Structures are given as structure tokens and as C-alpha cells.
Amino acid sequence: MYECHQVQAHIVDQLKFVSTIPATDPTSEIHRQSTLQLEGEVQQWYQSFCDLVKTQRDYIHSLTGWLRLSLFQFNHNSLSKTTQDSSIYSFCEEWQQALDRIPDKVASEGIKSFLTAIHAIVVQQSDEQKQKKKSESAFKELEKKLVDLRSLECKHNPTVELRDPVAEKKVKVAILRVKAEEEKTKHEKLVSVTRAMTVNNLQMGFPNMFQALTGFSSVCTKTFETLNNQSKSMNQRHELKMLLP
């Protein structure tokens, strides 16, 4: 895990070289689905990571508790040792203390922070798409009124009509045109915001997360190597004891 996170941290560190110039292409459905999938995967990753650490701690706490009851007995409110070899109990106590000390909160918060950054992109993409629909709706309404205006201009006879419905219609069309352009401008701004947010959140979130995970896995590697060496030493002492008369 440590080696994998080292490679991942190196890869995502290259994100800082990605151009931060906002693109003008709007968010596509593929973009939206990909972001939602990434959010779901990271959410599952976060939950699995927390479950993994909790399961390991629960296991060693249960094992240590069971050994405590098996290898010791209460006598006049004090613990007295049985004749059984309790070296395994001492080893499990050290294992328990080691797992309690590992910085899992730093790693889990790193994943959670990245998840928050992705969710912000999801929300921004949703706002962009809503604005896109509003812009498209405004231009459809404008097109419809333009068709009505052209039809009215063909039928209009100013010599027999006291009021000028064409002029009135033109005023309404002009108002709709201004509204449609405003909605289009809002959408274009949101497109730029979405692109800038996506690049920024990934450039910041990915490295921070993998730095936290690399640090966590590094501590775990050293911890388990130490425990493994202690276990080997304990086994060697046990084998030597069996050889002695």
C-alpha cells in the first residue's frame, strides 16, 4: 500500500503542470456522469478505509481481551499470572498500542476533504446545467416570438388599423432578446467557473490526499515491520527454550 501511494502521489503531483486556463466547452453529460462516478468511488473508498482501520482495532482489542481472561485470573482483586507463557499476550498488547497510535484520522480526513472538493464540482456542474436549460428556454421563447412577429408583419395593414401591434410585438421581442442574452452570459460565466473549479480542486485535492495516505501507510509499514521483528524474536526465544534441557 505504501509503495502504491508513493507512485500515486508522484503521478498526481504532475497535476500542477496542467494548464489552469479555463476552457470554454460546457460540461457534457459524460463529464457529469464521470464526476458522479468519481464521487461515488471516493465515498466508498472513505468508508472502506474507516471500516478497515476499525476492524483491525476491534480484532486486536478483542484478541487482547480474550488472552487477558485466558492467561490471567483474578485473585483477591489483583491479577496473578498463570503458569502459561504470556509472551503472546505482551506481543498483542504492543500490537494493540501500535494500532491505536497510527495516524488514521489524518488519512481519513484527507480522503474526506477530497470528497468534499469533488462534491463542490458536482454541485457547480449541476448549477451550470440548470443555467444552460434556462438559457436554451429563453432562446426558444425568443425564436417563437420572432416567428409570431414575422407572421404579424405579413398580415399587418397600417392603413386600416388604429394601433400598431407590430411595434408592440417588436418591443416584447426586444425585451426577450435582452433576457436571452443575459441568460446566455450567465451560462458562459458558469462554464468558466466550473472549469476553473475542477482544475483547482483536483490540483489541490489529489496531492493533499495522497500525501496523507502516503504518510499513513509509511507509519503502518514501520509499525508492522517492528511487530514482525518482535514476533520473529519471540519465536526464536521459544525455540531456543525448547532445545535447552
| Percent of all residues in the chain with a pLDDT value above 70, rounded to a whole number | 83
Q: Which of 53, 180, 199 is nearest to 124 (CA)?
A: 199
Residue-wise pLDDT tens digits, 174-183:
999 999 999 9
Q: Which three cell numbers stand for residue 139?
A: 432562446
H-only helix segments in the chain: 2-13, 29-71, 87-101, 104-155, 165-243
The larger pLDDT score, comparing residue 189 to residue 70, is at: 189
76 C-beta neighbours (distance < 10 Å), count: 5
Q: Which three cell numbers stand for residue 28?
A: 457534457
Residue-wise pLDDT tens digits, 201-210:
988 899 999 9
Which one is the CATH code of 28-243: 3.40.50.2000, 1.10.3720.10, 1.20.1270.60, 3.40.50.720?
1.20.1270.60
Vertex 54: Cα angle to 51 and 57 (nearest 5) = 150
Residue-wise pLDDT tens digits, 140-161:
999 999 998 888 888 766 655 5
pLDDT at 20: 59
Residues near 201 by beta carbon (within 8 Å), at least 6 away in sequence: 117, 118, 120, 121
pLDDT at 220: 93
Residue-wise pLDDT tens digits, 10-32:
888 887 776 656 567 899 999 99
| Residues facing 73 on adjacent strands | 80
Phi, psi dihedral angles at 74 (to 5 degrees): -80, 135
* Residue 136, pLDDT above cutoff 90: yes
pLDDT at 148: 87
pLDDT at 12: 86
Query: What are the sequence ranges of the domains in the chain?
Result: 28-243
CB distance 152 to 165 below 8 Å: yes
Residue-wise pLDDT tens digits, 64-81:
988 888 776 554 444 445
* Residue 239, pLDDT above cutoff 60: no
Q: What's the CA gap between 39 and 125, in Å, rounded? A: 13
